[in-house]
Amino acid sequence: MPYFESPVDGTRLHYVDYGPADGSVVVFVNSSYFGTEMWEYQMLPLAEEGYRCVGFDRRGHGRSDDVWGGFDLDSLADDLQGLIEHLDLRDVTLVGHSVGTAEIVRCLTRHGVERVARAALVAGMVPGPVRSADHPEGIAPELAEAAKDAFQRDRAAFFADGAHDFFALDRPGNELSDAYVQSMVRRCHGSTARAGVALWDVIADLNAVPELTKLDLPVLVVHGTHDVSAPFDLTGRRTADLVPNGTLKVYENAGHGLFATHAAQLKSDLREFMAGGRAALVP
């Protein structure tokens, strides 16, 4: 299995590299708890169409090393940049989900856009869902802390009980097999307890407003109307309003797990975005 060493501290990080070596490059950045397998409905079809699809397991996730440190956002962003430089990737499209969008934004503002052409922020946590001085409408910090406490007490129950809302399975059109949902619950246990708690802290402290306004590249924002993990008005809509060159695509009835429930639509929108198309803005 291929690995590269983190430029931060030498942590061994597992990556996958699908499709032709000379294809247009797409780098996928995962949600909390998941490894690259979460993107199977986008990475594999796009690779078969001739794109070079690259992804990696975040430290403490999947097949990457189990470590204590390096979970601050700067270090996570440096891990992403380390992968791009390790493979000498150019003209990259970055695609991130959930907390992966924060890593992408920090990577771009920290390392620049010399190697990156565009970014897609899917069900993103940016700019940050938790209430702060410049975001009074956000989630109360004590509610975020209570959710973190529930995770720490019994993360097995947290994953199992949260799957229904994660995929918004009560909404029309969000049809997934029980077998798939359970497989994704099991996949969550591929992340360590340490990694999970550390990412809760990243989200609680996240305020990417100043960074989003500085992004000097096309940005596609994809978000679901029924995302309870990253409520649309607190995250996706704000992001689309902040980025200078953004396109907003709203998926009706979609939850946080739209990469599965709206797999074909997401693949199509990513393909259009990479080809230079511009989806219709949604108010």
CB contact set of 258 (below 8 Å; sequence gap of 6+): 122, 123, 222, 224, 227, 251, 266
The CB density around residue 47, as the number of other CB atoms within 10 Å, is: 19
Bridge partner list, 130: 139
Q: Is 256 among the catalytic positions? A: yes
Does the N-terminal peptide bond of residue 127 adopt cis geometry, omega within 30 degrees of 0? yes
Catalytic residue among 65, 79, 227, 269: 227
Long-range contacts from 173-182, C-beta under 8 angstroms, 24+ separation: 173/253, 173/261, 174/253, 174/254, 174/255, 174/261, 175/261, 176/260, 176/261, 180/260
- Say whether 98 is catalytic: yes
Closest CA to 2 of 55, 59, 48: 55
97 is catalytic: no
198 token code pair: 């550390």
Catalytic residue among 6, 24, 75, 98: 98
* CA distance linking residue 231 with residue 251, whole number of Å: 13
Catalytic residue among 97, 223, 226, 256: 256
For the annotated catalytic residues, the residue numbers are 98, 227, 256
